[in-house]
Structure 1
Amino acid sequence: MREQTSAKIFVLSDSLGDTAELVAKAAAVQFNSNANKIIKFPFVIEREQIDEVIEQATQEKCVIAFTIVNTNLKNYLIEHAKKNNIPAVDIMGPLLQAIQEVTHKNPKGKAGLNRQLDEDYYKKIEAIEFAVKYDDGKDPRGVKRADVVLIGVSRTSKTPLSMYLAHRNLKVANIPIVPEVEPPKEIFEISSKKIIGLTTDPTILNQIRKERLKSLGLDSNANYASINRILSELDYAEGIMKKIGCPVINVSNRAVEETAAIILKIIKGGY
């Protein structure tokens, strides 16, 4: 029976090394994942660190797999691995070169960018979950934790705006203003600069509400869509907004993206 051989895979990275480790595991399993041991060396940013790894590698039967984007450091590793007859595989290099040839742009050569993208992704997910949790006044306690609070009568795009802004990493709560329901006290306890009032043209709102009722299989002449009811709601909401002293945006005939752009400008102090 032929003796089974194994090798160690040294994974080097100028960041966490997760990418190189995943590739190394995928390759190792094609031979014997238990026999081929993977040893990770993250945050390799100095030549001295490479020297230490090379010295250790010369005493082992091993392969070096690496994701190092700094050109000088990468070349230093390749050169010294070659001198010591250690196979070294540049996992990202060929793909970076291919993208560079197609785009005619040079890679940034900066470590950790993927991790930064991940952090941005998780912030976005957190903001989206926040918008869902505190949508339509479900829990007014979210008002004090929000980056932005949208207030307005029904069908003034509060929910789609909340979701759009959440994709810009903003935690948004929205509160419906209804004459029969006292507004939550929380909206009077935070800075008016965090609150955006939304209003609209009553005729346009009348049509939107009628269509909404039809889509639900309800009578489009219900009080919810009557022009008198709408005028009453808008007047009441206007009074609340004046009391708070918050900016007010008329969303009539505006796309969500356009209104969101105005909101972003307001909260950045440029409107």
Structure 2
Amino acid sequence: MTPQLPIVYVVSDSVGETAEFVVRAAASQFHGGRVEIRRIAYVDDFEPIREVVQAAKESNALIGFTLVLPEMREALLREADHHGVIAVDILGPMIQAFSKINNQSPKNLPGLVHQLDDEYFRRVEAIEFAVKYDDGKDPRGLLRADVVLIGVSRTSKTPLSMFLAHKRFKAANVPLVPEVAPPEELFEVNPRKVIGLTISPDELNLIRTERLKALGLRSQANYAAHERILLELEYAEKIMKRIGCPVINVSNKAVEETASIIMDIIKRGGRG
């Protein structure tokens, strides 16, 4: 019989991400590190507090909460204590500490961190975009992207897309394969938004050979053959010249270094 996972009710007057992150971080310190999170978000009156405490009592769960308003925090702690439920105030002690060190009263505005942090939402949107339009899965996204990365397999297109997404750029990428014509949408994108990625044949051979080994395949496969690599790189160069986009040689470059070059190009309006 599979043992039941510990249950934690996460209660918040906002999204509840902070509390859930802390709960999972704490759970990871114990064997197995697994926990069932039941998130109760946007709590703005006392009735949900009574309901969640009762539910926690019935399921032998504990409560982790981030409630900014003092009266809501106190109400939850009182209710939990009355029913013998463990409740942990995740945000309150830190707010009190800041109040003491700054000699100021807190604003006590629920959800303020996300209201103020538009960058957070842009980052989330960019990450979702990068996942959705990775590897040319849906060419319709190319015309909506801030930057489109093109290149042969193993030129770090996906890692770069995710890195750029964390910097709030909507990045799409398209693999260039001689046997598969690029989507027509690629040639409709402003060339200044397209970045070509190239690499030395020897380094690509090494990367692909290691990739094949990791997959348990023969390193002599055509994927890593020098002739195949030269064919792909020549084809990719033709496509990049046709588009007229900036080209970056990623040989011996870390993802962060290449991403920095890309962001500089974007800021200069696509002039490499």
> What TM-score, normalized to structure 2?
0.64
In the TM superposition, what is the alpha-carbon distance from 1:30 to its structure 2 partner?
3.7
- How high is the sequence identity, in percent, across the aligned residues? 62
Q: Distance in 1 between matches of 2:223 and 2:67?
A: 59
Q: In structure 2, what is the equivalent of residue 127 of structure 1?
A: 126
Q: Distance in 1 between matches of 2:226 and 2:79?
A: 74
Q: RMSD value over aligned CA atoms?
A: 3.2
Q: Which runs of 5+ in 1 are unaligned?
A: 1-17, 34-90
Q: In structure 1, what is the equivalent of residue 71 of structure 2?
A: 24
Q: What letter is aligned with 2:176? A: I
1:33-73: CA deviations, max 9, x gaps? Answer: 9xxxxxxxxxxxxxxxxxxxxxxxxxxxxxxxxxxxxxxxx
1:85-124 alignment runs, 5 A limit: 92=95, 94-98=97-101, 114-124=113-123
Q: In structure 1, what is the equivalent of residue 230 of structure 2?
A: 231
Aligned residues: 195
In the TM superposition, what is the alpha-carbon distance from 1:126 to its structure 2 partner?
1.3
Q: What letter is aligned with 1:169? A: R
1:165-211: CA deviations, max 9, x gaps? Answer: 00001111100000000011111101001100000000000000000
Q: Distance in 1 between matches of 2:266 and 2:165?
A: 14
Q: In structure 2, what is the equivalent of residue 145 of structure 1?
A: 144
1:25-104 alignment runs, 5 A limit: 25-31=72-78, 92=95, 94-98=97-101
1:4-59: CA deviations, max 9, x gaps? Answer: xxxxxxxxxxxxxx8775442120234469xxxxxxxxxxxxxxxxxxxxxxxxxx
Q: In structure 2, what is the equivalent of residue 157 of structure 1?
A: 156
Q: What letter is aligned with 2:216? A: G
Q: What letter is aligned with 1:197? A: G
Q: What letter is aligned with 1:28? A: A
In the TM superposition, what is the alpha-carbon distance from 1:125 to its structure 2 partner?
1.3
In the TM superposition, what is the alpha-carbon distance from 1:158 to its structure 2 partner?
0.2
Q: In structure 2, what is the equivalent of residue 240 of structure 1?
A: 239
1:186 alignment partner, SS class? helix
Which has the greater radius of gyration?
1
> What TM-score, normalized to structure 1?
0.64
In the TM superposition, what is the alpha-carbon distance from 1:93 to its structure 2 partner?
6.5
